[in-house]
Structure 1
Amino acid sequence: MDSNRFVDEVTINSLRKSLKQYAVPNDRRAVWQLANTLIPYIALWIILVYMIRNGFALILTLPFIIAAAFFLVRIFIFCHDCVHGSFFTSPRANKIIGYVTGIMAFTPFSYWQHDHLIHHGTYADLDHRGVGDISTLTVEEYRALSRTKRLAYRLYRNPFVFLGIGPSYTFLLAQRLPHKRGGKSERLSAMITNLALLGIMLMASLTMGLGTYLLIQVPIMLIAGAMGIWLFYVQHQFEGVYWARHENWDPVKAALLGCSYYKLPKLLQWLTGNIGLHHVHHVLPRIPNYHLQQSLDASPVMQTVRPLTLRESFKSVWLNLWDEKQQKLVSFRSLKELGH
């Protein structure tokens, strides 16, 4: 089956109606997910504190730090579900757990919610880029830049920059500062998160020691941040992706062709909270992560989307510009071949 054929045969409302039964939170599933994630995460922290306090070589802590980073990514997915009000049945519970998991991931809940919901209304729309997404220029826009700005964009799109420097800037700096978008709720969210993080650092300095805390928290945060940025990147930046100008933007094409079905090995799929089933998520964002696989299995239309494998996804880092003539992402290297 071909998803390109189905985009002309279904409407976004019919797709959502077919998946509506899965957009129902299950409190028991949510509590179980918190338990099977937070308990291992805390256990890994205890192991790491013991190792560092007892003089183990830092290289020996690396496997535990990487494991903790994966669990932190999963914790952030719970925050993401709370943003959509889909993790618990109670809006109050979603907000509380959203704030707590957001603080754990150095992310102000309402601050990020504001940008993320804008992203859901503007993804794959060439005329509404720039909020909650990876900045992507068209070929013509890139050509119009000065040499200095071209260099800046090339650096921004370099994987060593957006996966290396990017997490430090995003999670340690940018999300500490209230942005101009949004209102009091978003600014208050940033303040609450910053105060909570200061409180955690104070408690850590009085117990395990500030140095021990930083030796654990900083690498976990940077590795988890790189994983999160990569997942967000590859969800809308891959070969064959759909983008369109606003007047031609189609919600079905945007969901089925503008979002990846990132088919990861089962363990990685579990650790990343099924977020790789991103096309399903964008059709109906209120489906909680623990129902995404079931939704995919029950929907013939969702199954028509060609899976993006882990190996194939690495090619996405070389797709840097949108060529409106060819309607596809292209690399910087291809500009000469395209006559640009």
Structure 2
Amino acid sequence: MTKERLKTLKKQMSPYETSNTKKSILQLINTFIPFFALWYLAYLSLNVSYLLTVFISIFAAGFLIRIFIIFHDCCHNSFFKNRKANKIIGTISGIMTIFPYNAWAHDHSVHHATSSNLDKRGTGDIWLLTVNEYVAAPFFTKLAYRIYRNPLVMFGIGPIYTFLIKNRFNRKNAKMNERMNTYITNISIVALYTGMCFLVGWEAFLLVQGPIFLISGAAGIWLFYVQHTFEDSYFEADKDWEYVSAAVEGSSFYKLPKVLQWLTGNIGYHHVHHLSPRVPNYQLEAAHESSEPLQNVPTITLKTSLQSLKFRLWDEDKKVFVGYRAIKEKIAENKNKNNLTVSPK
């Protein structure tokens, strides 16, 4: 796709970048109320069967993901026209999903500005090494990387560490308003959880909130992971990196069944979101359908997305994601090059 076509594509998103207050309020109603109702239903089911509790928790987790999408839109100031309204609803939904509004808004904006840029990794993204970097890395870096990229760690321990621990601390150079927002969020979470423990008992609270947290956390990380980890993704050095190309080629269209698409707030249209973060979630599908080029971006389904689990490293030469087998090929290639450069005696 030419640069001119890419610029035109970005301009085509402008009609969809305006939030609709009625739609936003309706989304608050059809997201928060069902979540609270399902949470209460899961609590009542404890007297029937814990298997039933876990079953109900799966649906509650879906609505918690939807609450996170509202939080996510507020961080982009795309959910409401008013910035103060975005911050208020964003902070409340951040407390529900245990994410500090200001801190995450900062990191996520950096992610959008640097996504798929090999020279600007490290903020708001998943740890990624290229094949060459992995081969050259010391043993303990390789070990840490393999542990980090293990699915059981990434989707099991990952949510616990990221949401419960990492989100509780401010980054080193955070400004005062960002620090205060994190403190307020932390205090509010403690107050909310303490109140719930007094209301229903700490055992009941953990039995209900535990599976909701783990399921929604694992699903949330999976969504973020799979939307940037597919075989023919886009990664370039800074000198060759281009924003629109990174958006439409480095972010997938995750084509989900309608029910899952609704619960995940259309986040499967991730290429549209990266192309224009100001498009609210309820406008993403319409924006996608309005442009033929956007309908021809890398598309993955529930079935094909599972293939991303085998991708571990980015091959800069082939421009594709690869597994660890590519390491042996690279080592053998480097040995051959070294042998060719050594002059025979």
Shift of 1:100: 0.5
Is the counterpart of residue 193 in structure 1 residue 185 in structure 2? yes
Shift of 1:179: 2.3
Shift of 1:162: 0.2
Alignment of 1:25-104 (within 5 A): 25-52=19-46, 54=47, 56-104=48-96
Aligned length: 332
Counterpart residue type for residue 195 of structure 2: M
Show CA shifts across 1:239-294 (max 9, x none): 10010000000122211111101111111111100001011111111000000001
Within the candidate set 228, 231, 236, 2:228 is matched to 236
Is the counterpart of residue 16 in structure 1 residue 4 in structure 2? no
Shift of 1:7: 4.2
CA distance in 1 between partners of 2:16 and 2:93 (Å):
23
- TM-score of the superposition, structure 1-length normalised? 0.94
Within the candidate set 266, 279, 297, 1:274 is matched to 266
| Contact 1:7 1:256 (8 Å CA) reproduced | no
Gaps of 5+ in 1: 1-5
| Contact 2:42 2:52 (8 Å CA) reproduced | no
Alignment of 1:183-332 (within 5 A): 183-332=175-324
Show CA shifts across 1:142-179 (max 9, x none): 11222222111111011111001000101111111222
Counterpart residue type for residue 133 of structure 2: E
The alignment-based identity, stated in percent, is: 47
Shift of 1:181: 4.1
- Mean Cα displacement is larger for which, 84-93 or 214-223? 214-223
Counterpart residue type for residue 61 of structure 2: A
| Contact 2:58 2:215 (8 Å CA) reproduced | yes
- Mean Cα displacement is larger for which, 326-335 or 121-130? 326-335
Gaps of 5+ in 2: 334-345
Alignment correspondent of 1:3 = none
Counterpart residue type for residue 305 of structure 2: S
- 3-state SS in 1 of match to 2:254: strand
Shift of 1:8: 4.5
Q: Which has the higher contact order (CA 8 A, sep 6+)?
A: 1
Counterpart residue type for residue 136 of structure 2: A
CA distance in 2 between partners of 1:214 and 1:174 (Å):
20
Is the counterpart of residue 155 in structure 1 residue 155 in structure 2? no
- Mean Cα displacement is larger for which, 181-190 or 309-318? 181-190
- 3-state SS in 2 of match to 1:329: strand
Shift of 1:197: 0.8
Root mean square deviation of aligned Cα: 1.3
- TM-score of the superposition, structure 2-length normalised? 0.93
CA distance in 2 between partners of 1:49 and 1:275 (Å):
29
